[in-house]
């Protein structure tokens, strides 16, 4: 069965409904109106260069045909008609921005073959950017071209703070992103082209800890809704590649998101305090976390009480990141209802990576997390739930955040609810199969581990399973659980483990089958 994920005016995205992770059972040919277009072996595939408001019949081998109609649009114009050169040398910023400003509602701006050198551009509501297969938007290397956006600005009448800039969970000034939208809706960025941040040429990856103003992201959406990014390659951002912030109804489909393995803080896709997020068919290979789901630090979490909720991640391939799917550590607003399914994690440091600690606050509730039908290859530690994360904040080495003594539960105490991991194959692990460490005063409420097979690499090397104070290296360790109220383990096998396969401390109820 073929499910339709997205239909725009010139592109569409589909998913084969099966129980397999990322890849289909066998190769298939995609045909449109009886004409063969390409072969594929992935569960998610797309067609591009369609005509608006036209009916098509799509077929693949062994599946019933799907009839669909593309969306209507008011017009389609080329960026070249507004003076853009696309020669890779001329500054095309003004031409691109002018074209966007002139587009009517439901209009499409087309980028034909070429390299369009540009400073940050601002999107508006009800438009489509269509980046053709041989087109590239390339960020200007001049750092002064990236204006500084204030974290907040006061309403001159009410005195209310209006939020604009952010970094790592706080409302702070930031450099403007290359593709930038605030308080907008109904935006589509589609095509088979490239948006390249050009960060190395701009020197953005140098001396990152000495910068007073956070580096720009590549795509940034603040308080937007109905955003679709489909088909393009996103690469080489100065910091995070794609950062939606307090936004809703977001679709990220069939994307390539890449950065060098050693590039600093180049997370691929970090939805923060967003709801109804769909990530499907994407390929990630970056220098930090592949997907990091966030909801702000304690001031933001306490003020807005906006959790990251209703996220679905499926049929994605994640490679070489610190974490494949990370929650936190900026999660003071909470994370609720996350499903990750049918994905492949390949040589990431961790599979699921939860980062929180004392001080994130009582609204920092993570609950309703499901991982199923997953494959992990060469992941150092597949499952990490860490309530002792020790990075980024000034108080990370304080007695409050290091003592293993049971402290009073107060407004600063985070909460971790129910986590379910089932039907997973985790091959060639190195450090530990699973490492879950709750707080003595607030244990992890419930962990269910079912139908999972772990193996360890022959050449496994010792490592730290979770970033925390006083961490101890492990190698080929089994499943470690400390400070958990309820733990259920059913049909789990671990091959190649050194020492005990199950290491348990301070677990209230243990069910093992």
Per-residue pLDDT band for 472 (boundaries 50, 70, 90) equals very high
Residues 253 and 305 in one domain: no
Tokens of 425: 């194959």
- Coarse DSSP helix, strand, coil percentages of the chain, rounded to the nearest 5 percent: 5, 50, 40
- Neighbouring-strand partners of residue 234: 195, 257
Active-site residue identified among 254, 275, 288, 437: 288
Q: What is the pLDDT averaged over residues 246-256? A: 98
User: 316, 281 in Cβ contact below 8 A?
Assistant: yes
Residue 417 lies in a domain: yes
What gap in Å lies between CA 466 and CA 2, rounded to an integer?
39
Q: Which residue has the tokens 């072996």?
A: 41
Residues 255 and 392 in one domain: no
**∠ Cα 430 432 438 (to 5°):** 150
What integer pLDDT is reported at residue 329 of this predicted model?
87
User: 179, 189 in Cβ contact below 8 A?
Assistant: yes
Task: Convert the pLDDT of each residue in 427-449 to its tens digit.
Answer: 999 999 999 999 999 999 999 99
Tokens of 457: 């690499």
What integer pLDDT is reported at residue 398 of this predicted model?
87
What integer pLDDT is reported at residue 298 of this predicted model?
87
Active site includes 322? yes
Q: Would the CA dihedral through 399, 401, 407, 410 be positive or negative? A: positive
Domain boundary among 69, 95, 119: 69
User: 429, 470 in Cβ contact below 8 A?
Assistant: no
Q: What is the pLDDT averaged over residues 401-412? A: 94
Residue 503 lies in a domain: yes
What integer pLDDT is reported at residue 469 of this predicted model?
85
Three-state DSSP at 446 gives strand
In degrees rounded to 5, what are phi and psi of residue 36?
A: -70, 130
What integer pLDDT is reported at residue 279 of this predicted model?
98
Task: Convert the pLDDT of each residue in 311-369 to its tens digit.
Answer: 999 999 999 888 999 998 889 999 999 999 999 999 999 999 999 999 999 999 999 99
Residues 63 and 169 in one domain: no
- Neighbouring-strand partners of residue 135: 114
Domain that holds residue 441: 301-513
Q: What is the pLDDT averaged over residues 100-124? A: 98
What integer pLDDT is reported at residue 160 of this predicted model?
95
Residue 47, domain CATH:
2.60.40.10
What integer pLDDT is reported at residue 247 of this predicted model?
98
What integer pLDDT is reported at residue 393 of this predicted model?
74
Task: Convert the pLDDT of each residue in 367-388 to its tens digit.
Answer: 999 999 999 999 999 999 999 9
Active site includes 288? yes
Percent of the chain with pLDDT over 90: 93
Q: Which residue has the tokens 């591009």?
A: 48
Residue 295 lies in a domain: no
3-state secondary structure 9-44: CCCEEEEECCCCCCEEEEEEEEEECCEEEEEEEECE
Domain boundary among 69, 99, 119: 69
Residue 208 lies in a domain: yes
Residue 296 lies in a domain: no
Residues 422 and 276 in one domain: no
What integer pLDDT is reported at residue 61 of this predicted model?
86
Q: Give the H/E segment covering residue 202.
A: helix 199-202
**∠ Cα 442 443 446 (to 5°):** 130
Residue 63: is its pLDDT beyond 90? no
Residues 363 and 490 in one domain: yes
Residues 79 and 65 in one domain: no
Residues 225 and 195 in one domain: yes
Domain boundary among 288, 309, 331: 288
Active-site residue identified among 175, 230, 251, 322: 322
Give the total number of structural domains in the chain.
3
What gap in Å lies between CA 461 and CA 350, rounded to an integer?
14
Residue 392: is its pLDDT beyond 80? no
**∠ Cα 267 268 271 (to 5°):** 90
Q: What is the pLDDT averaged over residues 188-208? A: 97
Task: Convert the pLDDT of each residue in 80-111 to its tens digit.
Answer: 999 999 999 999 999 999 999 999 999 999 99
Residues 269 and 124 in one domain: yes
Residue 391: is its pLDDT beyond 90? no
Residues 423 and 449 in one domain: yes
């Amino acid at each position: 069965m073929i499910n339709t994920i997205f239909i725009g005016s010139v592109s569409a995205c589909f998913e084969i409904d099966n129980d397999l992770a990322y890849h289909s059972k066998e190769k298939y040919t995609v045909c449109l109106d009886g004409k063969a277009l390409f072969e594929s072996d992935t569960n998610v595939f797309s067609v591009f260069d369609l005509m608006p408001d036209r009916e098509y019949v799509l077929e693949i081998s062994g599946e019933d045909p799907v009839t669909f109609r593309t969306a209507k649009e008011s017009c389609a114009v080329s960026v070249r008609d507004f003076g853009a050169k696309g020669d890779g040398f001329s500054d095309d910023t003004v031409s691109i921005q002018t074209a966007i400003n002139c587009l009517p509602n439901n209009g499409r701006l087309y980028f034909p073959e070429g390299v369009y050198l540009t400073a940050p551009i601002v999107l508006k509501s009800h438009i489509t950017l269509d980046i053709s297969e041989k087109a590239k938007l390339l960020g200007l290397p001049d750092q002064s071209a990236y204006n500084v956006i204030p974290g907040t600005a006061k309403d001159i009448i009410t005195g209310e703070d209006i939020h604009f800039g952010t970094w790592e969970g706080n409302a702070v000034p930031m450099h403007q992103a290359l593709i930038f939208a605030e308080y907008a809706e109904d935006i589509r960025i589609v095509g088979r082209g490239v948006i390249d941040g050009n960060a190395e040429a701009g020197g953005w990856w140098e001396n990152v800890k000495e910068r007073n103003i956070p580096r720009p992201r590549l795509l940034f959406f603040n308080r937007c809704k109905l955003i679709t990014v489909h088909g393009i390659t996103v690469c080489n951002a100065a910091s995070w590649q794609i950062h939606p912030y307090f936004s809703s109804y977001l679709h990220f489909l069939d994307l390539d998101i890449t950065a060098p393995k050693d590039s600093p803080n180049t997370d691929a896709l970090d939805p923060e305090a967003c709801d109804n997020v769909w990530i499907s068919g994407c390929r990630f290979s970056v220098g930090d976390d592949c997907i990091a789901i966030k909801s702000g630090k304690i001031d933001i979490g306490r003020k807005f009480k906006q959790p990251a909720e209703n996220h679905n991640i499926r049929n994605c391939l994640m490679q070489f990141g610190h974490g494949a799917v990370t929650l936190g550590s900026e999660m003071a607003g909470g994370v609720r209802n996350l499903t990750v399914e049918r994905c492949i994690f390949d040589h990431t440091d961790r599979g699921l990576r939860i980062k929180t600690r004392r001080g994130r606050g009582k609204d920092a509730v993570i609950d309703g997390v499901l991982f199923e039908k997953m494959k992990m290859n060469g992941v150092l530690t597949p499952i990490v739930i860490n309530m002792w994360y020790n990075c980024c904040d000034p108080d990370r080495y304080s007695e409050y955040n290091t003592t293993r003594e049971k402290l009073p539960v107060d407004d600063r105490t985070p909460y971790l609810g129910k986590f379910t991991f089932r039907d997973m194959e985790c091959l060639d692990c190195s450090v530990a199969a699973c490492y879950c460490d709750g707080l003595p005063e607030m244990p992890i409420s419930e962990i269910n581990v079912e139908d999972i097979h772990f193996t360890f690499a022959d050449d496994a090397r010792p490592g730290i399973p979770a970033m925390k104070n006083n961490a101890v290296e492990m190698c080929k360790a089994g499943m470690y659980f400390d400070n958990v109220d309820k733990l259920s383990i059913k049909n789990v096998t671990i091959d190649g483990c050194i020492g005990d396969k199950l290491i348990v401390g301070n677990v209230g109820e243990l069910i093992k089958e």
